[in-house]
């Protein structure tokens, strides 16, 4: 009985998984078009603060005020890791670069 219930349950979720993937294929075209039209990155999952909404192109000093990965006072900030600062001269210096 338990085995059969498990098989049914897994089967149901497996079917659902495939159905959703298929549905998404069609949806994806719209989303790619949208992304092309509006070039802003990131998902609209949180709008609590601007540096969480457009998290990957945000200011340098606004998110993670004190140091990279420092805790944030917005609850959603807790869920994000610091963005990629790899193109910054290391260490992060503000001002003119010495050529």
Partner 1 sequence: MISGSWFEKQKNIIDYSLQSLLRRRSKNILILIIFILLVFGVSSILFITGSLTREMMITSNELPDITVQRILGGRQVNVPALFIPEIKKIPGVEAVETRVWGYFYLASLQANFTIYGMDLDLLEDGEYRKVVNWKNVPDQAERNPDYRMIVGQGVYELLENIQMEKRYLFYQPSWEKPIPFDIIGTFKADTELQSNDLMVLQTEGARRVLELPPDEFSDLVVYVPNPEEIENIALKIRRYFPELRTVTRAQIQNTYSSVFGWKSAFVLSSMLVAIFAFLILIWDKASGLSPEEKREIGILKAIGWDTDVVLSVKFWEALILSGISSLAGILLAYAYIYWLRAPGLREIFIGWSTIYPSFRLIPNVDPKFLLLIVTISVVPYLAVTIFPAWKAAITDPDVIIRNI
DSSP state of 36: H
Show the tokens assigned to 90.
Answer: 């290391």
4 binds partner 1 (CB under 8 A): no
Start-to-end C-alpha separation, the chain? 74
State the CB neighbour count (10 A cutoff) for residue 77. 18
Member of 4, 22, 67, 87 binding partner 1 (CB under 8 A): 87
15 binds partner 1 (CB under 8 A): no
Member of 1, 4, 22, 24 binding partner 1 (CB under 8 A): 24
Report the greatest alpha carbon distance in the chain.
74
Beta carbons of 74 and 48 less than 8 angstroms apart: yes
8 binds partner 1 (CB under 8 A): no
64 binds partner 1 (CB under 8 A): no
Interface with partner 1 by CB under 8 A: which residues? 2, 6, 9-10, 13, 16-17, 20-21, 24, 27-28, 30-50, 52-62, 69, 71, 74-84, 86-87, 94-97, 99
């Amino acid at each position: 009985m338990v085995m059969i219930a498990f098989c049914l349950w897994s089967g149901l979720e497996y079917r659902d998984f495939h159905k959703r993937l298929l549905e998404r294929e069609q949806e994806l075209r719209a989303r790619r078009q949208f992304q092309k039209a509006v070039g802003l990155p990131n998902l609209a999952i949180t709008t609590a603060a601007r540096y969480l909404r457009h998290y990957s192109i945000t200011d340098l000093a606004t998110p993670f005020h004190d140091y990279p990965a420092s805790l944030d006072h917005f609850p959603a900030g807790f869920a994000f890791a610091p963005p990629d600062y790899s193109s910054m001269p290391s260490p992060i210096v503000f001002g003119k670069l010495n050529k």
